[in-house]
Amino acid sequence: MVIPDENWKSEFPTEAGFYWFCGDPYVGQSGGDYTPEGKALQIEMHIVHVWKNQNGVTGVINGGFIYRQPFDKAKHREGWVGKFAPADLPEFPNMADCTQGYRIKE
């Protein structure tokens, strides 16, 4: 699957859903991130689950929350470095054959 360049955005998603994130989600957590040369970024592909809450939106990568704002060395602010794109995920399979006798949460 190839995601066209115009689908990748440098802003945190504002709508609930699943998104691809290509970049380093946790920059600014160590003092070395703020040195003139900074740390080497670890660019990886992640799936992000974004949902709405009372503060706007929240996102989770690999079970951990992701900052809603990008990293800012000048402001000494932790954040992410990368881009987001909507992710098309498959539908759930029919689970009837393996869930008989169990209640399923709605």
45 by Cβ neighbours in 10 Å (0-12 / 13-18 / 19+) ranks as exposed
Mean pLDDT by 10 residues, the chain (106 residues): 86 94 88 75 92 90 89 89 92 82 78
Number of domains in the chain: 1
Q: Is 103 inside a domain boundary?
A: no
Which pLDDT belongs to residue 16? 93
For position 97, what pLDDT does the model report? 81
Is residue 59 domain-resident? yes
Residue at 104 is within a domain: no
In a domain, 2, yes or no: no
How far is the C-alpha of 3 from the C-alpha of 18, rounded, in Å? Answer: 14
The whole domain housing 80 covers 9-98
pTM of the model: 0.78
Instruction: Establish if 17 belongs to a structural domain.
Output: yes
Which residue in 8, 24, 15 sits closest to 84, CA to CA? Answer: 8
Domain annotation covers residue 105: no
